[in-house]
Structure 1
Amino acid sequence: MKAVVIHQQHDLRIEERPVGEPGPGEVRIRLRAGGICGSDLHYYHHGGFGTVRIREPMILGHEASGEISAIGDGVPGLAVGQRIAINPSRPQGDCEFVREGQRQHAMDMRFNGSAMRFPHVQGLFREEIVIAAEQAVPVSADTPFAEAACCEPLAVCLHAVEQAGALVGKRVLVTGAGTIGCLTILAARLAGADEIIATDISDAALAIARAVGADKVFNVANDPQALAPYAHAKGQIHVAFECSGSGPVLASLLPLVRPRGTIVAVGIGNDVTLPIGTIVTKELVVRGSFRFDAEFALAARLISDRRIDVRPLLSAQIPMERAVEAFELASDRTRSTKVHLTFDGVSP
């Protein structure tokens, strides 16, 4: 069984890894598509991010879909040949956060393709994998594999939108029009946002933002003052989603958001000092949004039914044997939004 393994920065190899038979409560999945995420790119280009570093060879990937090839004992409701998306989040134990329904904050969390723990939690970019049955989330039989592999990033964005409260009739700003920004646009529209504005420094990214439903787009590299009119009369934005991971961009949102408005920080990036006086006097809500939980199953339903159409984000599907080529393409925001690896020579 072949897998895509990172050893250190710019050292990505296709290697053999064993796969066993599923035990009780487990299923074996034949992978068909795997989406390259920003964290995968950090491992590829930098050997990690922040204090999280590659300390042993690790299979990359946490966005993936495939079909069930074998089922262990005691697994109801699933069938061989069924198409599924893989939920990479595996909260363990019985800590207070799990008991309170905040499973994404479990004290003992295993997340596929993550070097936060040691030994690292191996990822999903491999031809076959045995997983817990609860990680196999069904999609419809006609859902393309590349679309199904978008369930994980969509779940992140559904969770972010949940943090903002009601969006019906609201003016929404999304800063950063990469995969997460564009999926946030789709999720915000589904939640009833009346007007959605998107910003980025790439015209190519903004074209995708427009394609998925942004009403207005601004290239803030070409026009740094493009959002200035939205600061009029204490601010014109009801909810802002910061998806670029830029601390200065987050700080720049405070004048734009109206009193009692909300800023949701989705992207993780550099730190920044915020003006506490503005937050207090405008009674702003500044919230973080981290991963997801129940939203994964919702993402699978929305993609299966095409109530959320992720096709405009899909840039390329490249066989896993050409993983380096795929990672280089995924690194170029002028040419790609979401690049998928394919497995077993099967097109997603």
Structure 2
Amino acid sequence: MGPSVGAREAERGARAVLDPVHFDYLAGGAGDERTLTGNEDAFARRRLVPRVLRGPGPVDLTTDLPGVRLAAPVVVAPTAFHRLAHRAGEVATATGVRAAGGLLTVSTMATTAVEEIAATGAALWFQLYLQPDRAFTAAVAARAAAAGCRALVLTVDSPVRGRHARDARHRFTELPAGLVCENLRDADGRVRDLVVDPDLGWDDVAWLGGTTSLPLLVKGVLHPADAGLAVEHGVDGIVVSNHGGRQLDGAVSTLDALPAVVAAVAGRVPVLLDGGVRSGTDALVALALGADAVMVGRPVLWGLARGGADGVQEALEDLTDGLAHAMALVGAHRPGDLGPDLVTIP
């Protein structure tokens, strides 16, 4: 399983057109990148055991997630600095996502303002870091809501920043001239630095949920005990994620962590998987092991780099078409028909 030929070709194509410093920032992970590669390896270890003669008929991928109904259980993950990949940045990404009928999770670290991204008409969630200045955090969340974002996605796996060897080798420490994190502008127009909060706790999650009417998901959960605590503190969804291998090197792959998290949640809120999904078959494996949807990050960035909005649309449609095709071949009509009996490790 793992990356399709298309995914590999897309990454090679992106490498060919991007500044090597920027490619390595987007592609790289923490430390020796064991977790980065482990996310894909976890899918490569799985094999499918299809059912036959079940007459599944046309495949229906329709999926309900907090604040939105989607044509397929695929969400674009929050990733920073899209204007490193393409001059139109997040606007091109959102345009491609809208054309594909998808959902984009806007990053706090976007190089385009959330209002400008929302003007494309794409369905949006907004990813948020809790800043030590809680009033500023609440203002950013309110700004996202005012722009039309359907939910907040709180990243909780970053009490400190990951250590990236590729960035250190290139001495990549700041954005090129003219690029800033537009969603970190305060009321005075000043762009604030992102400050990770090492003192973040579950009470802060509950506080954020109390400041907004939007659904709140937490992203960065790997331990089933944390999944249970998240539900107890009122979240509306959980994203099983190791930050794409960019935080703790050596962390468990998200696919390997998924079944225990799903068991702990016990259907009380949706569970999404983020990390290592490179094909429709990968998405099917994650859904079969209990995910309600998957997030994809780097494949979308490679499409953006190669073809702007059209490249993003192509990447998403390739993945969702691949998912529908694989579902037909395993005898499933809807994502809910998928179960762990369809997946094995030889």
TM-score of the pair, normalised by structure 2: 0.27
Using CA pairs under 8 Å that are at least 6 residues apart, name the structure with larger relative contact order, 1 or 2.
Answer: 2
Larger radius of gyration: 1
